[in-house]
Amino acid sequence: MPSKPTAIVPDASLRMACRVVDPPHPAVIDCDRLLDGCELRTQRRSGPGGQHRNKTSSGAFLTHRSTGLVGEATERRSQAQNREVALQRLRFLLAIEVRTPSPLDPSDWQADGNEATIRKRYANHPFRLNESNADKPALLALVLNDLWVAGGQPSLIAETWSVSTSKIVALVRSYAPALTWVNRVRHHHERLPLH
């Protein structure tokens, strides 16, 4: 009986081009610290909603200065609520669009306290977090870092997280833009998409 081919981590020179920043990943840092690195712009928004909609500048647009990525929210009446929603959306956007080094590539990786805390907290964890969980963008960012290094192969990172491959895939599937991004990585490495 032939043996199953062993999956290997692709060489760094073969990785899909991504925006890489020094650790800690911006989706992992404390929300107040992330806000300090953002510019807030408020704006009135037009549209349906009755007589009370947007009599004030309640729309919130948070621009992350380092990357230029923008999280926005305009659907709530309160600017504070919109700012909170915009921050969560920005964290998810950063999780998808920005990479930091992974422990799967020891030549680039150096332990960061913020990232190490998330890795320790979610090692051997079921990975079932709803989108309102403040840790979900951070966990997703680190899992995507690892998948980027692993060429989109969940089986190569499962041991790092002490979870099954299916838990990695379920986490990625739970946020559609993450699945789209992982499938871009897989396509780059000529692998079939995850479904």
Q: What is the pLDDT of residue 2?
A: 43
Alpha carbons 72 and 68: distance in angstroms, whole number: 13
d(CA 100, CA 115): 10
Which residues of the chain are under the pLDDT cut of 70?
1-7, 45-56
Report the top-level CATH class of 31-95: alpha beta
Query: What is the model's pTM?
Result: 0.88
Domain spans, the chain:
31-95, 100-188
**pLDDT for res 52:** 54
Judged by phi (left if over 0) then psi (alpha if -120 to 50, else beta), residue 6 lies in beta
Q: Which two structure tokens, joined as six digits, stand for 148?
A: 């980027």
How far is CA 83 from each of CA 88, 93, 98, 105, rounded to the nearest angstrom? Answer: 9, 15, 21, 36
Q: What is the pLDDT of residue 3?
A: 43
**N residues, the chain:** 195
Q: Collapse the DSSP code of 71 into the 3-class scheme (helix H, G, I; strand E, B; otherwise coil) and give the result.
A: strand
**Rg from Cα positions in the chain:** 19
